[in-house]
Amino acid sequence: MAKNTARTTPKPSTANGLKTARTTLRRKPDRGAHDFETIAAILDAGLVCHVGFAVDGQPYVVPTAYGRDGETLYIHGSSASRMLKTLAQGVPVCVTVTLFDGLVLARSTFHNSVNYHSVMVLGVAREATGDEKLHGLRTITEHLLPHRWEDSRPPTAQEMKASTVLKLSIEEASAKVRTGPPIEDEEDLSLPHWAGVLPFALVPQTPIPDAHVPEGTDAPAYVARYARPS
Amino acid sequence: MAKNTARTTPKPSTANGLKTARTTLRRKPDRGAHDFETIAAILDAGLVCHVGFAVDGQPYVVPTAYGRDGETLYIHGSSASRMLKTLAQGVPVCVTVTLFDGLVLARSTFHNSVNYHSVMVLGVAREATGDEKLHGLRTITEHLLPHRWEDSRPPTAQEMKASTVLKLSIEEASAKVRTGPPIEDEEDLSLPHWAGVLPFALVPQTPIPDAHVPEGTDAPAYVARYARPS
C-alpha cells in the first residue's frame, strides 16, 4: 500500500536508523534493514499485525488491526480486552507485521525458504486520549480502507469510552526481507527437480453487501477497486 | 488446506477440549472455539505462524514456517538463531496462526471489523531429535507444499546439524473466528453508507522458474495447481 509514506518526514537519529542491540539482526544481516522508509512501507502494506506481550511470564501473540501516522503506530480494541488492559499498564510490547510473498522451492529441502517482508517494532505502548484517541481510530480505519472514515458514522461519546487506543512510537524497529529465487549449493543445480518461486498475493474479492443495502446499489469505488499496491 | 486433518485422531480430554484458564476467551466468547478439529483446520490452512517468546522481559514476535502432525506442531530454523536457541531452553511460547479473510464495513466506524480465523497455541517447545527431527522437517515442507519433500534432495547429515527442529504439543489452545456481515445498531441501518464485507484471498500466482531450470520445462502439477481450499 505504502499509502501513508508520502505524509511522513522521517528523521532517523543516526546512520543506523532505528537499530538497537535488541533489533540488530544476528543471522543473515543482509536480509535486514533499519531505515525508516523500508519499515514504514512494510507497515503500510500490511493489514493485520501480531501483538506480543507477556502476562505472568507467558507470552501471548494476538492479531489485530493497526494504522501508522508518521512515527506512531496505533492499535485499538475494546476497553475490556485483556490485551488492551495489559498493554495500557505500560509493559514491553512487540508488534510484528508480516507480508507473505511466496514459497521458495530449492532442489534441496535444506534451501527451501519463504519470500516475505516483515517488521518488528519494540517498545512500550501508551494510551492515546482526547483528540489523539479519535485521530488514532481514524488512522486505523483509513489504513484498512482509505476513504472509509468519511463514509461512515463517527463514534459517539459512549463508543469512544468503550474503545481503548494505544500508541507505540516507531523508534526501535527492524525490517527483514527475503526476495528472489532459491540460493542453492552449486552441486545441486543439475538435479532434476524444478526450482523457483511460487508467488502469493492477497487479493481483494467481490464486495458482498449486507442485507440492508438497497438492491442494485453498487459498492463505492474505494471498496470495489480496492487494490494492494506492491 | 485442511490437508492434515484426516490423518489425526483427536482425543480432547474434556468436553471443553483444549480450553484452560489461559486460553478461555474473556470477551466475545461466541467467537471462540476449543475443539481440536476447528483448531487443526485453521493451523492446516495457514502458511506462516507468529512465534512469541520473551528475552529479558522483552517479548519478540517472529514469523516462521511450521507444520502439524496430529497433536504436534513443528517449527524449525537455523541452530544459530536467537529464537531457536531461546526456545530450545524450554521457555513459555505462544504460536499464533491467523488467516485474514476480509474487511467488515459497518455504517458506523465503531462496528467496523475484520473477518478472520486464528489459533493461539501455548506451551513449552522441546527439541525434536533423531528420526523425529527429520519427520519434523518433512512435516513442515509438506505443510507448505504437499508433494515437495519427495521431489527434492533430502538433507545431508551436515544440513541436519545446522537445523534445529522444535515441537510444541497442541494441548492448550484456542481458536477465534469472525465470519459474516457487520453487526450494526438498529438505528444505523437506515444510514446511507454502503455496508458489507470485502473478502480477501491469498492466491497463488504463476510459478517463476529459477535460472537453472531448462527452458520449456513446466512447473510440476503440485506447484502449478497449488490451491488453497477454504
Q: Give the tens place of pLDDT for each residue, A168-226.
A: 999 999 999 999 999 999 999 999 999 999 999 999 999 999 999 999 999 999 999 98
> ∠ CA(B184), CA(B190), CA(B195), 5° rounding?
55
Residue B11 confidence (pLDDT): 40
Q: Which residue of B lies nearest to A219 if distances are taken between CA atoms?
A: B194
> In the beta sheet, which residues pair with residue B127?
B166
* A105: helix, strand or coil: strand
pLDDT on residue B31:
77
The alpha carbon of residue A9 is apart from the nearest alpha carbon of chain B, in Å, by: 27
Whether B12 shows a pLDDT value over 90: the answer reads: no
Judge whether residue B3 has pLDDT over 50.
no
A12 pLDDT more than 60:
no
- Sequence ranges of the domains in chain B: 5-183
Per-residue pLDDT, A34: 86
B153, A57: Cβ pair inside 8 Å? no
Q: What percent of chain A stands above pLDDT 70?
A: 89
Predicted pLDDT at B34: 86
pLDDT band, very low/low/confident/very high, at A139 (cuts 50, 70, 90): very high
Q: Rounded to a whole number, what is the largest CA-CA distance in chain A?
A: 67
Contacts of A153 in chain B (CB under 8 A): 107-110, 188, 191, 193
Cα–Cα distance measured from residue B48 to residue B56, given in angstroms and rounded to the nearest whole number: 26
| Least confident interval from A104-118, A152-166, A215-229, B36-50 | A215-229
Cell numbers given for B35: 475443539
Q: What is the mean pLDDT of residues B128-140?
A: 97
The DSSP code sequence of chain B is: --TTGGG-----SSTTTT--TTTS-SS-GGGEE--HHHHHHHHHH-SEEEEEEEETTEEEEEEEEEEEETTEEEEEEETT-HHHHHHHT--EEEEEEEEEEEEEE-SBGGG-EEEEEEEEEEEE-EE--HHHHHHHHHHHHHHHSTTTTTTSBPPPHHHHHHEEEEEEETTEEEEEEE-SS----GGGTTSSS--EEEEEEEEE---EE-TTSPTTPPPPHHHHT-----
Residue of B122 and B14 predicted with greater confidence: B122
Nearest to A38 by CA among A2, A64, A63: A2
B102 vs chain A: nearest CA distance in angstroms? Answer: 8
Instruction: Reduce the DSSP state of residue A185 to 3 states and report it.
Output: coil
Dihedral sign, CA of A58, A78, B17, B46? negative
Residues of A in contact with B144 (CB under 8 A): 103, 112, 114
| Beta-carbon contacts of residue A40 (< 8 Å; ≥ 6 apart) | A2, A4, A5, A8, A10, A68, A170
Alpha-carbon distance of A205 to A223, in angstroms, equals 10
Q: A22 to chain B: which residues are within 8 Å by CB? A: 58
Query: For all residues of chain A together, what is the average pLDDT?
Result: 88
The whole-angstrom separation of Cα A229 and Cα A35 is 20
Spatial CA neighbour of A39 closest among A79, A5, A65? A5
Q: Which amino acid is at B212?
A: H
Please report, rounded to a whole number, the percentage of residues in chain B having pLDDT higher than 90. 77
Nearest residue in B to A110, CA atom: B155
The predicted pLDDT at position A216 comes to 93
Query: Is A94 buried (19+), middle (13-18) or exposed (0-12) by CB count in 10 A?
Result: buried
Three-state secondary structure call for residue A127: strand
What is the pLDDT at residue B15? 44
Q: Residue A10's pLDDT is what?
A: 38
**CA–CA distance, A32 with A27 (Å, rounded to integer):** 9
Residue B26 pLDDT class (50, 70, 90 cuts): low
Cα–Cα distances (Å) from A11 to A30, A74, A136, A170, A174, in that order, read: 23, 19, 21, 11, 15
Report the C-alpha gap between B57 and A122 in whole angstroms.
12
- What pLDDT, on a 0 to 100 scale, did the predictor assign at position B8? 35
Separation of alpha carbons B225 and A82, rounded Å? 42
**B59-87 mean pLDDT:** 92
Coil/strand/helix, residue A141: helix
Closest to B110 (Cβ–Cβ): which among A63, A155, A209? Answer: A155
B205 pLDDT band (50/70/90 cuts)?
very high
Chain A residues inside the 8 Å CB shell of B191: 153
Contacts of B103 in chain A (CB under 8 A): 47, 144-145
Rg (CA), chain A: 20
Nearest residue of chain A to residue B117 (CA atoms) = A63
**What's the pLDDT score for residue B82?**
84
Instruction: Please give the residue that has the higher pLDDT: either B78 or B206.
Output: B206
Degrees, nearest 5: CA angle A184-B97-B86: 65
Q: Into which CATH architecture does domain B5-183 fall?
A: Roll (2.30)
With pLDDT > 90 as the criterion, what percentage of chain A qualifies? 76
User: If you average pLDDT over residues A83-100, what whole number do you get?
Assistant: 93
Residue A118 phi, psi dihedral angles, 5° rounding: -140, 155
A229 band by pLDDT with thresholds 50, 70 and 90 = very low
Residues A88, A164 contacting (CB under 8 angstroms): yes
Confidence of residue B78 (pLDDT cuts 50, 70, 90): confident
User: What mean pLDDT do residues A154-179 have?
Assistant: 95
Phi, psi of A191 (to 5 degrees): -65, 150
Q: Is the pLDDT of residue B158 over 50?
A: yes
Task: Give the pTM.
Answer: 0.89
d(CA B114, CA B178): 7
Bridge partners (DSSP) of residue A120 are A96, A174
Q: Pick B65's closest partner by Cβ from A63, A114, A181.
A: A114
Which CATH superfamily includes the segment(s) A5-200? Electron Transport, Fmn-binding Protein; Chain A (2.30.110.10)
